[in-house]
């Protein structure tokens, strides 16, 4: 069989050179294409590599071996402490800071160990009564004359202390009262923002505290309105008078006064000091340990004498529960 010439015949030199040029051209094209891909690859890398912004957390750096890592710092947030200037106040109230009166009262002496005395009451006399009166007077309770005689005004002073200390209101110097009085301190007001002078009437305790220009002057037992309805015949006109026996609460001031005894529709008043219309602080023959008036504030006749002469018109009065 005759062989094909294409299989046995050697290629010519011209053909061989042609193929060399083809290979060289192919290789060159490949290299150029590879180089042209580099910028494209770099652009792609720029798009896919995340770029840190101002809000991203910086990469953590490892501390050198043996070195103490720096403590993490946390931004300090200032704390806003509420003050009187930025607190919301009730409607009608102001942000005026309370007045802090200077310490006017002398330091109470150490009473020493407690020593029980016999039960004292109206009619008692002697050194034990004198010691009781001195102690009450030192604490600014009105006991009248400090003379060793347990009279009606001493009784008023004991009742005032029992009311303020929230003890049983007996007017008798019982063991319970003795123990409380032994460790007692000065009565304290609740409305220092009014300054001096002022009058505080504590309805639940049934106590009046009078502060003059120098501070606490006296603590008195009172009897305020009974909060009951009443219908009585007027002692002046003979007509029937009805109402509710309630002492008004709030802030007032002494408006005017009438010296001596005054006959009103509902009874006699001694040295009344009016603080709200017809409502007054006045002396009365009877000042029970509970609230029993028609709305006025009763104090003893003995106390109303110096009270009338000492308290000035315009003095602030606050009545509170």
Q: What is the pLDDT of residues 153-206, one digit of tens each?
A: 999 999 999 999 999 999 999 999 999 999 999 999 999 999 999 999 999 999
Strands 240-244 and 229-233 come out as antiparallel
Which domains, from first to last, does the chain contain? 116-186 (1.10.101.10), 229-320 (2.40.440.10)
**What is the structure's pLDDT at 28?**
45
**What is the structure's pLDDT at 70?**
39
Of 65 and 179, which is predicted with more confidence? 179
Residue 316 has pLDDT above 60, yes or no: yes
- Region of poorest pLDDT, from 39-48, 188-197, 242-251: 39-48
- C-beta of residue 161 within 8 angstroms of C-beta of residue 168: no
pLDDT tens profile 97-148: 444 444 568 899 888 899 999 999 999 999 999 999 999 999 999 999 999 9
Average the pLDDT over 275-297 and give the result: 97
Residue 315 has pLDDT above 90, yes or no: yes
**What is the structure's pLDDT at 157?**
98
48, two tokens: 């896919």
Phi-psi region at 314: left, alpha or beta (left = phi > 0; alpha = psi -120 to 50): left
**What is the structure's pLDDT at 272?**
98
pLDDT band, residue 307 (cuts 50/70/90): very high
Separation of alpha carbons 99 and 196, rounded Å: 9
- What whole-number percentage of the chain has pLDDT above 90? 64
pTM (two decimals) = 0.69
- C-beta of residue 280 within 8 angstroms of C-beta of residue 297: yes
**What is the structure's pLDDT at 53?**
40
pLDDT band, residue 24 (cuts 50/70/90): low
**What is the structure's pLDDT at 23?**
53
- Region of poorest pLDDT, from 47-56, 101-110, 182-191, 228-237: 47-56
Average the pLDDT over 45-50 and give the result: 39
93, two tokens: 């109230």
* Average pLDDT of the residues of the chain: 79
Query: Which residues in 197-315 belong to E strands, given as ranges?
Result: 198-202, 207-212, 215-221, 229-233, 240-244, 250-253, 256-257, 261-264, 267-276, 279-284, 297-300
Of 61 and 21, which is predicted with more confidence? 21
Which range is most confident: 85-94, 109-118, 295-304?
Answer: 295-304
């Amino acid at each position: 069989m005759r062989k094909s010439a294409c299989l046995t015949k050697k290629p010519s030199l011209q053909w061989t050179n042609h193929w060399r040029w083809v290979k060289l051209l192919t290789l060159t094209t490949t290299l150029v294409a590879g180089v042209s891909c580099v910028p494209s690859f770099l652009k792609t890398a720029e798009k896919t590599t995340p770029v840190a912004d101002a809000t991203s957390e910086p990469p953590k750096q490892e501390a050198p071996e043996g070195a103490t890592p720096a403590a993490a710092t946390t931004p300090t947030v200032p704390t806003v402490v509420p003050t009187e200037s930025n607190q919301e106040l009730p409607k009608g109230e102001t942000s005026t800071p309370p007045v802090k009166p200077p310490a006017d009262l002398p330091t109470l002496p150490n009473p020493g160990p407690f020593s029980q005395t016999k039960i004292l009451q109206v009619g008692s006399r002697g050194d034990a009564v004198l010691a009781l009166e001195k102690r009450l007077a030192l604490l600014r309770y009105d006991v009248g004359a400090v003379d060793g005689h347990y009279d009606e005004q001493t009784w008023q002073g004991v009742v005032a202390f029992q009311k303020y200390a929230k003890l049983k209101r007996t007017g008798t110097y019982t063991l319970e009262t003795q123990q409380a009085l032994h460790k007692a301190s000065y009565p304290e007001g609740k409305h220092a923002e009014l300054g001096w002078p002022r009058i505080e009437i504590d309805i639940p305790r049934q106590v009046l505290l009078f502060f003059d220009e120098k501070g606490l002057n006296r603590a008195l037992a009172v009897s305020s309105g009974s909060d009951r309805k009443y219908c009585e015949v007027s002692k002046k006109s003979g007509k029937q008078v009805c109402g509710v026996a309630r002492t008004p609460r709030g802030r007032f001031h002494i408006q005017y006064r009438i010296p001596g005894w005054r006959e009103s529709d509902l009874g006699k008043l001694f040295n009344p000091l009016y603080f709200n219309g017809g409502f007054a602080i006045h002396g009365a023959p009877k000042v029970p340990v509970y609230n029993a008036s028609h709305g006025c504030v009763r104090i003893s006749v003995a106390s109303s004498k110096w009270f009338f002469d000492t308290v000035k018109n315009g003095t602030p009065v606050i009545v509170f529960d």
